[in-house]
A and B are shown apart, each in its own frame.
Chain A
Amino acid sequence: MNYPVELLYSKTHEWVKEEDGVVVIGISDFAQDALGDLVFINLPEVGDEVVCGEAFGDVESVKAVSDLICPVSGTVCAVNEELLDSPEMLNEEPYDAWIIKVENETEREELLSAAAYEAFCAEEG
């Protein structure tokens, strides 16, 4: 399992990185592995407000829908539309397959370092 050190992680298994004042969000390697083969992703639209701790989209593995929980509050400024046609990219390259970018961040939940997140995942099993 891969936990890149340059990223921060939420306890609901999203990763976060900052890029020129914009927050980039995806799901972790641990998350994609636990969810299994993804067949669909439901994305927000550019301009939508996202709220820390609330769902910003969801993914479907075979027959199971899991909400994606937003680690920050702000405005969606980009969505990765490629994922609509190829949700399997989330399984193949979870750290390249970013999901949304958020600007005007107003709030963020407490995020974990790669080491702390790895320990958190190990505990969950």
Chain B
Amino acid sequence: MKWRFLDLSTTDPAFNLAAEEYVFSELSRDYAYFMLWQNRSSVIIGRHQNTAAEVNETFIREKGIKVVRRLSGGGAVYHDLGNLNFTFIRDETSSRLDLGIFCEPVAAALRELGAPAEVNGRNDITVGGCKISGNAQYVREGRVMHHGTLLFSADLGVAAQALRPSARKLRSKGVASVRSRMATLKEYLPKDTTLQDFKQLLLDKLFAGQAMEHYEWSEADLSAIEKLRLERYDTPRWNYGQSPPCDMNFVDYIPLCGTVEVRLSVRRGLIGKAEFLGDFFTHKDLAPLCAAFIGQTPNEEGFRTALEQADPSEFIGGLSREALLGLLLS
């Protein structure tokens, strides 16, 4: 099968992930595709992850870090311009899942470039035991999209903060991330190798001796990708709302009130049920207070909207709006 190389010049993660889906679903299956691309500062979460369980909402909002859900499985990854992404899209005759058939050639190319890369049991590419590349797949009717990260250089501090979830009290049915020790490729490559040099070298090594044509995006391609970006990858419905069901539990002693426990059940990214338990005094039936939370997003914005609709101190002795919000954001 003949390879086509696609270049993505934008660094908008929502556009780039839309482009992957477009190539997978819409471009001719007579070709195999390879893309190299970069995202500006963003968190890319796995298909079946709870966004709230993976990111530090306050930190990413402050820093303007976008969260985008991808089609493939696995855990949350922090991306910025020190990271290079690669994507293979092609048909496979066997339906046996195999990440290795894509990871191995990448590792071999890295070895040729001087980094002693290996593929570990989790299909991460490692150098000296530290992860430099995470890989994942999306499969549909015999077509496989395999993509991975390549950490060229990085500010690991920002990554660690962005991926430190604020909602620690969340019990999720979703897929949890596995933390790994990271390394960067730059230190293994000849001095002064830039990311642009690395990109070209990688392409040359990976496809040495193979016919590869450069695919030029048409206007129609670009506008279809833009449509997909707007309808899916840049929407809270996809990036937050597609989260698997989860339960959130918050409990603390609130002075002049008592021990308050709040239980929220979240389905399709929205609160479906809220309960208040504890040794506090109630002034009246709690149903309207619980109802105010139903249909809200389980984050600061949603909690504030709920508390505008119902003042908890009217229901529970000594529980002010501020105290309850403090508990929910603790």
* A and B found bound together: yes
B244 at the interface (CB under 8 A from A): yes
Q: Which of A65-119 touch B at CB < 8 Å?
A: 65-67, 69, 84-85
Most B Cβ at <10 Å: residue of A31, A34, A66, A124: A66
Q: Which of B73, B94, B141, B244 contacts A61 (CB 8 A)?
A: B73
B174 at the interface (CB under 8 A from A): yes
Check A40 against B97 for contact (C-beta < 8 Å).
no
Residues of the B chain whose Cβ atoms lie less than 8 Å from the Cβ of A65: 47-48, 71-73, 136-139
Contacts A42-B244, A84-B245: A64 and B97 contacting too (C-beta < 8 A)?
yes
Contact string, A19-42, partner B, CB cutoff 8 A, digits 1/0?
000000000001100111001101
Check A34 against B95 for contact (C-beta < 8 Å).
yes
B93 at the interface (CB under 8 A from A): yes
Q: Which of B140-196 touch A at CB < 8 Å?
A: 140-141, 173-175
B74 at the interface (CB under 8 A from A): yes
Give the A interface residue count (CB, 8 A): 25
Contacts A55-B140, A64-B139, A65-B73: A13 and B174 contacting too (C-beta < 8 A)?
no
Residues of the A chain whose Cβ atoms lie less than 8 Å from the Cβ of B93: 124-125
A60 at the interface (CB under 8 A from B): yes
B87 at the interface (CB under 8 A from A): no
A46 at the interface (CB under 8 A from B): no
Most A Cβ at <10 Å: residue of B94, B99, B137, B139: B139
Check B137 against A13 for contact (C-beta < 8 Å).
no
Q: Which of A64, A69, A84, A125 contacts B137 (CB 8 A)?
A: A64
With both beta carbons as reference points, the residue of chain A lying nearest to B97 in the complex is identified as A64
Task: Tell me, rounded to whole Å, the shortest Cβ–Cβ distance linking B104 to chain A.
Answer: 15
A58 at the interface (CB under 8 A from B): yes
B283 at the interface (CB under 8 A from A): no
Task: Tell me, rounded to whole Å, the shortest Cβ–Cβ distance linking B169 to chain A.
Answer: 20
Interface footprint category on B: 20 to 34
Check A124 against B94 for contact (C-beta < 8 Å).
yes
B2 at the interface (CB under 8 A from A): no
Check B73 against A63 for contact (C-beta < 8 Å).
yes
B135 at the interface (CB under 8 A from A): yes
Task: Tell me, rounded to whole Å, the shortest Cβ–Cβ distance linking B141 to chain A.
Answer: 6
Check A42 against B48 for contact (C-beta < 8 Å).
yes
Q: How far is the CA of A17 from the CA of B48 in the complex (A)?
A: 29
Contacts A13-B95, A40-B48: A66 and B173 contacting too (C-beta < 8 A)?
no
Contact string, B294-310, partner A, CB cutoff 8 A, digits 1/0?
00000000000000000
Residues of the A chain whose Cβ atoms lie less than 8 Å from the Cβ of B73: 39-40, 60-65
Residues of the A chain whose Cβ atoms lie less than 8 Å from the Cβ of B141: 12, 67, 69
Residues of the B chain whose Cβ atoms lie less than 8 Å from the Cβ of A64: 72-73, 97, 99, 136-139
Check A39 against B97 for contact (C-beta < 8 Å).
no
Contacts A34-B97, A36-B97, A84-B245: A63 and B137 contacting too (C-beta < 8 A)?
yes
Contacts A12-B141, A40-B175, A42-B48: A63 and B95 contacting too (C-beta < 8 A)?
no
Residues of the B chain whose Cβ atoms lie less than 8 Å from the Cβ of A62: 73-74, 122-123
Q: What would be 23 A-B contacts, judged by CB atoms less than 8 Å apart?
A: A31-B95, A36-B97, A40-B244, A42-B48, A58-B47, A60-B47, A60-B73, A61-B73, A61-B97, A62-B73, A63-B72, A63-B73, A63-B99, A63-B136, A64-B73, A64-B136, A64-B137, A64-B138, A65-B48, A65-B71, A65-B136, A65-B138, A125-B96
